Amino acid sequence: MNLLDGSAGGGQLVRTALTLSAVTGEPFRMRHVRRARANPGLQAQHCAAIEAVAAACNAETDGVEVGSESFTFEPGETGEEPDEFGGQVSVEVGTAGSVPLVFDALLPLAVVLDEPFTAHLEGGTDAKWAPPFDYFRHVKLPMLTENGLDADATLKRRGFYPRGGGKATLTVRPSSLDPVEFTERGARESLTAYSVAEESMAGDDVAERQVEAAPADADVNTEYAEADCSGSALVLAAEYEHANAGFAVLGEMGKEAETVGEEATEAFEAFEDGDAAVDSHLADQLVPFLALAGGEVRVPEVTTHVETCIDLVTEFGYDVTVEDEGDTVLLSA
C-alpha cells in the first residue's frame, strides 16, 4: 500500500490521490491530511469525493469521516466481474462544499471506466476556495473534451456559500485521452462574462453591476437563480485558438458588486499581458491529465498547488517535469 503524506497541501492532494489510485489500481493510505490548514483533516467536500470515486471503482475505504487526518482507499480490480468500473452515485456534499471540486476527482477516471459513470451531487456550486460552476462548465471541461474526454455536466440548482443546497450532475464515459498540448494559446476567439446572483439580489442589479468593469468586447450573460442563501459569482471565460482561460471572483459580504468585476478584469488583463497558455488555477488541475496522457502545458508560474500535485503524482510512478522559461513555466510529461 502506498503511504502518502497529506501535510504539504490541501484537498487537492486527496482528490489527486483518489484519481490515480483508481486509475492504477494501487491502494494508498494518506496520513496528516491537510495538517497545515486551520481546520485540518477531511472536510465534508473531501469525504464526498472519496465516496464518489469509491463508487466508481468499487473501492473499500477506512477512516473516512469529517476531521479524520488519515484514511485508506483500496480500489477494486478493473474489468473483472463483478468489479466493472462505472454506474452511478448520489452524494450530499453538505453545506457549501464544492461540487466542481468533487467533479474534478472523477473526470480522469474516464480512462479506466468500463461503462459510463454518473454522479448526482448536492452542495456548493459557487463556493469559496473553489472554482465556480461556470468556470468548470465553460473553461475546464471544454478543453478536456476537445482532448478526448467524453463527459458532460448539468446544473440543476445554484448553491452559494455558506448554505450550499446546489444540485448538479456529471456523467463521465469511457474515453481515450489525447496528449495534453497547451503550449501556445493563439489568438483570442471569444470572451464571455458569466455573472450570476441569487434572485433576491435582482432589485440591486447585482448581476449587471458585476459586469460593468468587464472588457468592452466581452459578451455578457447575466442570471438570477433560486438558491438557499444569497450569493453571487462572476467568471470571465476566454476562449483562445488553442486553449481556454478563466478568471473567477465570488461576491462576498461587504464587497461591492463593481469590485467583483474589477478584480476579475484585472486578472484577465494580467494574463493577456503574459505568454502562458492557461491560467494559474487551471495549471494544477491539468497535472493529473499530464501524468496520464503525456504532453506539455505552459503555465504562468509554479504555484504551491502545482508543486505539491507534481510531488504526489510521482508517488504513483508518473514523471512531470518543470522547466522555468522566464515569464512562463513549461510542465511536461
Mean pLDDT over residues 161-189, rounded? 95
> What pLDDT score was predicted for residue 82?
47
The rounded mean pLDDT for the chain is 94
Task: Report whether 284 belongs to an annotated binding site.
Answer: yes
Q: Which of 233, 281, 252 is nearest to 132 (CA)?
A: 233
Q: Kindly report, residue by residue over 24-45, the tens digit of the pLDDT.
A: 999 999 999 999 888 899 999 9
Out of 32, 46, 138, 305, the active site residue is 305
User: DSSP secondary-structure letter at 148?
Assistant: T
**Burial level of 69, CB count in 10 A (0-12/13-18/19+)?**
middle
Task: Report whether 216 belongs to an annotated binding site.
Answer: no
> Whole-structure pTM over 0.85, yes or no?
yes
Mean pLDDT over residues 144-158, rounded? 97
> Which residue bears the cell 522547466?
323
> Which residue bears the cell 464515459?
173
Q: Is the domain 188-273 a CATH 3.40.50.720 member?
A: no
Task: Report whether 250 belongs to an annotated binding site.
Answer: no
Domain definitions of the chain by residue range: 188-273
Task: Report whether 127 belongs to an annotated binding site.
Answer: no
The confidence band for 94, taking pLDDT boundaries of 50, 70 and 90, is confident
46 a catalytic residue:
no
Residue 61 φ then ψ, to 5°: -130, 160
